[in-house]
Amino acid sequence: SNDAGESSDQVVININPGPTVDSITVEEASWKSGKGSGTLTVIASTNVISSQLFATDPDVDTIAMTSLGSGRFQALVSIRPSPVLVTITSSLGASVTVSVSN
């Protein structure tokens, strides 16, 4: 304190940003029959381009989707029979389950 009895303290506050929140938009989830099998096509995007997207359904292991750039991703999977649902998840925690069209 000084001669007048006044004092001051310095306080440092560090702000750590929380985890990045992302969302997923599904553009296409479709299945087309082919010779002996069929192809599941999933196209989705995320609002956080540093995220990685993954696709899965109960009959397929989780697969990393291929980046198309600008936060868009695609998965092409040979599968029979046609899946009813597909789940897309991101490396940042977002998840969405959609119906597959035939």
Domain boundaries, the chain: 24-99
- What's the confidence (pLDDT) of residue 9? 79
C-beta of residue 63 within 8 angstroms of C-beta of residue 54? yes
Examine the pLDDT at 55 and tell me if it is beyond 70.
yes
Query: For the segment 13-46, what is each residue's pLDDT rounded down to a tens digit?
Result: 877 777 778 999 999 999 999 887 899 999 999 9
Q: What H or E segment, with its residue span, contains residue 51?
A: none
Q: What would the CATH number be for the domain defined by 24-99?
A: 2.60.40.10
- What's the confidence (pLDDT) of residue 11? 82
Nearest residue to 23 (alpha-carbon basis) of 101, 97, 102, 92:
92
Higher pLDDT pick, 66 / 10: 66
Examine the pLDDT at 73 and tell me if it is beyond 90.
yes
Full-model pTM: 0.79
Token pair 């938009």 is found at 25
Q: What H or E segment, with its residue span, contains residue 16?
A: none
Q: How large a percentage of the chain has pLDDT more than 70?
A: 99
